[in-house]
Amino acid sequence: MYVARAAYGVALLVLMSTAWLVLTGTQLVSDIGDFARFGATLFQILAPLQLALAVFFSALLAASEVAHEKDRKTLILLLVTGLSNWELVLGRLLASLLGGLVVLCAGLPVFLAIALLGGVSYGQIARAMAVTLATAICCGSLGSTLALWREKTFQSLAMTVLVLVLWLAAGEALATGVLGETVFGLSTRTLAIGLSPWQAILEAARPYVHAQPALGWLGTPINLFLLFAAGFALLLDGFAVAMVRVWNPSREKVTQGKGEREEGKDHTAEANTASTLPSLSRRVWDNPIIWREIRTWAYGRKILIVRLAYLFLFALAAAALYWMVSTGQLAAYSQGAWVLAPLMLLSLVLVNAQAVTSLTSERDARALDLLLVTDLTPKEIVYGKLGGIFYNTNEMVLLPMLLCVALWWAGALSFENLLYVLGGLAVLYLFAATVGLHLGMTYANSGAAVATSLGTVFFLSVGVAVCMRIMMAFSGSPSAQFLPFFAFMIFGGVGLYAVLGLRNPSTAIGWASFLCPFATFYAITSYLLNSPLAAFLVMVAAYGFTIAAMLVPAIYEFDVATGRTTLDE
């Protein structure tokens, strides 16, 4: 916890210093007005960044902690104690949110320091922190409730992510005026601020030059959002409190118990008819790992809900792109990226969640130890898991690629750029799956493995977005911004090595950890300089080498990768 607090504060300071070096290296700072404009722009970058981190980690940490209790069968032990439903649900929720809330407090002095530059008032900082705090509690309640409802870890994580994306997408739809100018007597812009955390943080970070927009006794749209977030969190927590003992133990176990009792009653009749029934058996493939992943409901039948929810989001994205193409608004790549990039990021997160939970669920159920004493080779285990991952997430992998092909067919994307996008996506999907397997084997604690794996994919994506946002905010030559971003890349390399290679160090992972941030920066600058081929080649080389650096130890040093032995032994 102490490392996380210090790392978050240092990361904010590194971003602040990087932005300042970019500004002074590309523009002339001559008066106090330049300081104020820098402070205002920096705050409008860091406040949404902090909200994105709060939404992601509060929801997924709460969901993973509850799912971890279920996988280890310790939630059932809690249910037979003297804990009330309120103590059980809220205690587990607040415990999972504690780390994130303390990190937010650690970042508050950095935001207060931005006010010293000018251009940012303490009221703006207070509004932004209030929106972030309310969103973190609301998202944590959402993740906890869904995890208490669902049995499998992947179902809990995937449904949490999908609900969050639907929530944000609904807010963006309201903000763009899809439902008209007014709804229930309120403007759709005001309603979007009151319902969407993203729109709320953008409004909170914006200075009120004139009188604050009034909503009667509510005051501002920010107060409407705070009221909505508090009410939604109370509703979710109250529902979880009322249903926690109905959902757990699950209906599947109750039905199974009834079936066993009925089987005992009819044992004599079954024995009399057993000779007349043909023996039924299922033929297992040569690789039982991939057979289990593909031919059984290893992750529960309710995984169909996850697939249907993703198909719904895909339909929304396809409809938005079709509307852009038909109305001629898809004139630039950036407009289509506003639709495609969130869908692709969602796919990467779901692939990574499927990968890490495919191993953590085996470990928590003590099934991994049984696999390790069989004659299965490490190649069969690793490649079997990879095959199962991509089979179970085939919609998440293929549908975004299909949208890119559709854009090429409509003439909005050249064939050359289509090949770059498809090739880059394929490498990133394999990277996300490999990271999940690598960290699932490395971390003995399932909660830490899930949080670290999902956090790695999220931080890489957010890091790219922040770099591009700073480059665009403080205009200048992208090729001349290498030195200002040098510390940022070093900091990212250290963090990536701490995640991937600190527990099981290797020279290849060390090189890969520091190579990826520099290669990513080069790819970003090449893209901004209209050199997509250079961006594609560098990205494929860097992330392909990282994939190999994680897969080779998993196959040839399997006992070391899973923690069963050490390098010295």
Please state the φ and ψ torsions of residue 361, each to the nearest 5 degrees. -65, -35
Judge whether 20 and 489 are in contact, CB under 8 Å: no
**What is the pLDDT, as a whole number, of residue 528?**
78
Q: How far is CA 112 from CA 106, 209, 452, in A?
A: 11, 20, 29
**CB proximity list for 445: less than 8 A, separation 6 or greater:** none
Give the structural domain span for 155: 2-256
Residue carrying the six token digits 């690598």: 438
486 and 358 co-located in one domain: yes
Beta bridge pairs of residue 182: 187
Residue 455 lies in a domain: yes
- Of 341, 333, 334, give the one whose Cα is nearest residue 317: 341
Per-residue pLDDT of the chain (569 residues; tens, 9 = 90+): 788 888 899 889 988 888 888 777 767 777 788 888 889 989 999 999 999 999 999 999 999 889 888 888 888 888 888 889 999 999 999 999 998 899 999 999 999 999 998 889 998 999 999 999 999 999 999 999 999 998 888 888 999 999 999 999 888 888 887 777 777 677 888 888 999 999 999 999 888 765 555 566 677 889 899 999 999 999 999 999 999 988 877 554 544 444 444 445 544 444 444 444 455 667 888 888 888 888 888 777 778 888 899 999 999 888 888 888 777 766 555 567 778 888 999 999 999 999 998 888 888 777 777 877 788 888 888 898 999 999 999 999 999 999 999 888 888 888 998 999 999 999 999 999 999 999 988 888 888 888 889 888 988 888 888 888 887 777 656 656 677 788 778 888 888 898 888 777 888 999 999 999 888 888 888 887 888 899 999 999 999 999 999 988 877 766 555 555 554 55
Q: Are 390 and 436 in contact (CB under 8 A)?
A: no
Burial class, 34, CB count within 10 angstroms (exposed 0-12 / middle 13-18 / buried 19+): middle
pLDDT of residue 561: 56
Does 283 reside within a domain?
no
Q: In sequence order, which residues have a C-beta less than 8 Å from that of residue 377 and are 6 or more positions away?
A: none
- Output DSSP code: residue 186: E
pLDDT per position as a tens digit, 515-566: 998 888 888 888 878 888 999 999 999 999 999 999 888 777 665 555 555 5
Q: Residues 6 or more apart from 346 whose CB is under 8 A from it?
A: 161, 162, 165, 310, 313, 396
In a domain, 276, yes or no: no
Nearest Cα to Cα of residue 353 among 446, 268, 275, 490: 446
271: exposed, middle or buried (C-beta count within 10 Å: 0-12, 13-18, 19+)?
exposed
Q: How far apart are CA 212 and CA 222, in angstroms?
A: 11
- What is the per-residue pLDDT for 479? 59
The answer to whether residues 225 and 298 belong to one domain is: no
| Separation between Cα atoms, residue 71 and residue 362, nearest integer Å | 9
CA distance linking residue 421 with residue 412, whole number of Å: 13
Whether 293 and 251 map to the same domain: the answer is: no
pLDDT of residue 335: 64
The SS3 of residue 182 is strand
Burial of 530 (0-12, 13-18, 19+ CB in 10 A): exposed
Whole-angstrom distance, CA of residue 372 vs CA of residue 377: 9
Residue 266 lies in a domain: no
Gap between the Cα atoms of 258 and 249, Å rounded: 13
Cβ-contact 48, 473 below 8 angstroms: no
Same domain, 295 and 245: no
- Quick one: tokens of 170? 């609904």
Same-domain status, 380 and 480: yes
Q: Please indicate, yes or no, if residue 267 is contained in any of the structural domains.
A: no
Is 173 inside any structural domain? yes
Residue of 56, 51, 44, 50 lying closest to 19 (CA atoms)? 44
Looking at the structure, tell me whether residues 251 and 304 fall in a common domain.
no
Phi, psi of 186 (to 5 degrees): -110, 145
Question: Do residues 241 and 350 both lie within one domain?
Answer: no
Whether 115 and 14 share a structural domain: yes
The domain boundary, picked from 214, 241, 256, lies at 256
In a domain, 132, yes or no: yes
Closest by CA position to 461, among listed 435, 481, 484, 487: 435
User: How far from the centroid of its chain's Cα atoms is residue 567's Cα?
Assistant: 32
Q: What is the count of structural domains for the chain? A: 2
* Exposure b/e, 207-226, CB count within 10 A at least 16 = b: eeeeeeeebeeeebbbebbb
In contact, 34 and 118? CB cutoff 8 Å: no
Q: Are residues 309 and 424 in the same domain?
A: yes
pLDDT for residue 221? 86
Q: 101 to each of 36, 91, 371, 451, how far by Cα in Å?
A: 29, 15, 39, 16
Output the pLDDT for position 197.
94
Contact assessment for residue 316 and residue 169, using Cβ atoms and an 8 Å cutoff:
yes
* Cis amide prior to 288 (ω within 30 degrees): no
Q: How much is the pLDDT for 201?
A: 94
Q: Are 270 and 260 in contact (CB under 8 A)?
A: no
Residue 328 φ/ψ region, left for φ over 0, alpha for ψ in the -120 to 50 degree band, beta for the rest: left
What b/e string do you get for 536-557 counting C-beta neighbours within 10 Å, with b at 16 or more?
bbbbbebbeebbebbbebbeee
Closest CA to 339 of 319, 317, 322, 324: 317
Of 165, 141, 168, 146, nearest to 157 (Cα)? 146
d(CA 84, CA 69): 17
Q: Would 264 be classed as within a structural domain?
A: no
Contact 406, 321 (CB under 8 A): yes
Contact 15, 473 (CB under 8 A): no
Residues in the chain: 569
For residues 300 and 228, membership in a common domain is answered with no
DSSP per-residue letters across 11-36: HHHHHHHHHHHHHHHHS---SHHHHH
465 and 551 assigned to the same domain: yes
Q: Looking at the structure, tell me whether residues 104 and 251 fall in a common domain.
A: yes
Identify the domain boundary among 256, 275, 305: 256
